[in-house]
A and B are shown apart, each in its own frame.
Chain A
Amino acid sequence: MNYILDYIELDSIDTESAPFSFSYGFNISHLVDSIQQVGLINPPILKKAKDSFVLIAGYKRVLALKKLRWSRVEGLIILEDIPPLKCLLINLHDNINTRKLNEVEKAILISKLAEYMKPEQVIENYFSLLDLPKYMPMYNLYIWIANSLSKKIKDRLASGDISLKTVRFMYENEIPCDDIEIYGDLMSKLKFSFNEQMQLIEYTQDICRKEGIKLKQLFEEKEVKDIIESKSLTNRDKSKKILNLFRKKNFPKLYHAEDVFKKRVQRLNLPSGVELKAPPYFESPYYKLEIAFRDGHELKRKLLDTINTEGIELVGDPWKE
């Protein structure tokens, strides 16, 4: 490749269009600090356009330099007229060896590669490089992320507030865009674990389908709003309460049974360290007793106390009297 190292006015570098950049959701303050301390280590890669320079690699570096009010930079200027795909690949290889791309960056890159080749070629030639499984649904997911998600949701995916698993779940379940925005807002306001994010979506979508209502309507219900807008609850408490509320709406009979069982066990007043456990969803007919003990004497005492607990023989399926 024919290139020269030369000083270029920063103003002559076009950072608006950045056709080969796929950087997303970054914070350049660390880079600014680094340049301030040790200067620019790697020059950006550019090619000459009509009246300006097109950035091939080094988008964030140029932004950092502009923030530092440098007037010019030493850049690596490619003299040949190289095709756009090659520019994109130069940027890819410039990035991929030094950092991990976030999911939105992968999506942007895949959608840019798709402009130059068939989906099968993108998958075959670049998915390993991006640590992605080589199959078409994954390609479709990333194209959807690049083309269909709003900036707000992309920001949250890039920052890790929303997991890829959650986004994939939304994609596979064809969650409407309006609903995705609502989930995005809620997930940024409250703190949900990744599993809870999926639960939230599944519960609420099921409720909306069963009740024939829109997600927006569900979130406007008083009991939902009361939790979200509560001033006394922490965000973590709110997310737990919200999930609990939706679970109750979705599984009223199971929820009631769990509640009855819990209260019945509490009333038993079992010895300390003795726990009665219901089978998951009460599906198996077998309940479990768990006893914590230090030695045989304590075990014997706790077993006798448990046997003699008043009402123990009434333990059973909570829907039975």
Chain B
Amino acid sequence: MEGIKIKRIIVEPEAYSYPFTQRILKKLQGIQVCNKIENNSDIDYVPYDPKKDVLHLLIYKGDFLKPCPGTKEYICCKYQILNIATNCPLDCSYCILQAYFNHPYLRVFVNIEEGLKEVLKIIDSKKDEIFRVGTGEFTDSLALDPITEWSDILIPHFSSRKNVILELKTKTANIKRVLSLPYRERIIMSWSLNSPFICSHEEHRAVSLRKRIEAAAICQREGFVTGFHFDPLIIHKNWKEEYLKTIELMDKYLDPSKIIWISLGSFRYMPELKNIIIKRHKKSIVLNGEFIKGIDGKMRYFKPIRIELYSYMYENLSKWYNDLGLYLCMESDDVWSESFGWSPKDSNGLKRFLDNRVVKFYG
């Protein structure tokens, strides 16, 4: 299954009857299936062993559409998360999910089709509002797509509506299913990018930077609008040269006029994550910076370091193409102004900026 190895499937009893479950079980025939969590070591979540080779099929009882958990202290883009799964088969050292969720396994919600109906009702009830929806916050949007076929379920519904976009954010090159579908409109294919060093040293199980950019180029040629996310930007040896290499690769393969937005965010983490990184990723360099406690309680680079990172990226990306929809993720008004020379002032302002990008690309 394109690099993702599932060794065990746990199916909650109430999840069995769902067609989604049956499709997955058929697809993964031969893999051990159990119908409940079997022993204490499974129940006691150990963040140092997130059990990324176990697929846990269950019903999600909460709201499938949720606002991004941004904090009021910093400017948030007011993105909406479509909660189809939690945890990720990739294993990036810096991943916040290691500390964010207190349960192991790749949890996939089998009642997605029911949940989607509710989500679409909400979207249809607010025709004047633009919904920017993504599945790539609590999991990778495409890493499990060969198994779950999420793109088949989601894309037709989002592509046909005029007040919504669906962003599929990934660090994989699993684009086959998406490309095989006849939908292009309002589906944004996005990649998380980083410097070549960070991609190879910290983003375990993700495909190489080049493969991501090549996949993005294919999607552009196939008629998709693309997005990119430099998040987390990480200070490391020769970071300026390293990030330039990424921009050069983008220049080589991509058409910048087909990029709806590029977000920039510097590495930030909940204090609990530090220990997990030290224990799980002994060779990681992501903690080797000057981190202070931000106003939201998360650790982040000391402000002038962040400004230097953003200014550098802004300058070099803008040199490549001056209309890339560059924006900052979870930053303050003053950091915006100092790094970009302008600021959306608040979260509503940033939402307007990004909604306008949607209108510009899709009308």
Contact = CB atoms under 8 A, between A and B. Distances in A.
Contact of B278 (A173, A210, A283, A317): A173
B290 A253 contact: yes
Nearest to A279: B295
A254 B275 contact: no
A281 B305 contact: no
A18 to B, nearest CB: 35
A210 B195 CA distance: 19
A65 B344 CA distance: 80
Given A172-B275, A319-B304, A251 B295 contact: no
A252 B332 CA distance: 23
Contacts of B279: 174
B292 A254 contact: yes
A126 interface: no
B346 to A, nearest CB: 14
Contacts of A8: none
Contact of B304 (A173, A174, A253): A253
A285 interface: yes
A254 B302 contact: yes
Contact of A253 (B293, B302, B332): B302
B288 interface: yes
A209 B288 CA distance: 8
Nearest to A173: B275
Interface in A188-212: 206, 209-210
B305 A253 contact: yes
A257 interface: yes
Interface string A257-277: 100000000000000000000
A83 to B, nearest CB: 29
Nearest to B335: A285
A125 B294 CA distance: 42
A282 interface: yes
Interface in B248-306: 275, 278-279, 287-288, 290, 292-295, 302-305
A206 B304 contact: no
A283 B294 contact: yes
A250 interface: yes
B288 to A, nearest CB: 5
A67 B252 CA distance: 86
Contact of B302 (A172, A173, A206, A251): A251
B129 interface: no
B42 interface: no
Contacts of A172: 275
B63 interface: no
A30 to B, nearest CB: 42
B304 A283 contact: no
B124 interface: no
Contacts of A209: 278, 287-288
Contacts of B290: 250-254
Contacts of A280: 292-293
Contacts of A206: 287
B118 interface: no
A172 B294 CA distance: 24
B292 A285 contact: no
Contacts of A282: 302-303
Nearest to B333: A285
A254 B305 CA distance: 10
Given A209-B288, A210-B288, A281 B275 contact: no
Interface in A60-77: none
A269 to B, nearest CB: 27
A283 B278 CA distance: 26
A284 interface: yes
Contact of B293 (A136, A174, A281): A281
Interface string A221-258: 00000000000000000000000000000111110010
Closest 6 CB pairs of A and B: A281-B292, A319-B304, A285-B334, A210-B288, A254-B302, A251-B290
26 contacts: A136-B44, A173-B278, A174-B278, A174-B279, A209-B278, A209-B288, A210-B288, A251-B290, A253-B302, A254-B290, A254-B292, A254-B302, A257-B302, A280-B292, A281-B292, A281-B293, A282-B302, A282-B303, A283-B292, A283-B293, A283-B294, A283-B303, A285-B332, A285-B333, A317-B303, A317-B304
Given A254-B290, A257-B302, 12 more contacts: A173-B275, A174-B279, A209-B278, A209-B288, A210-B288, A252-B290, A280-B292, A281-B302, A282-B302, A283-B292, A283-B293, A285-B334
Interface of B: 44, 275, 278-279, 287-288, 290, 292-295, 302-305, 332-334
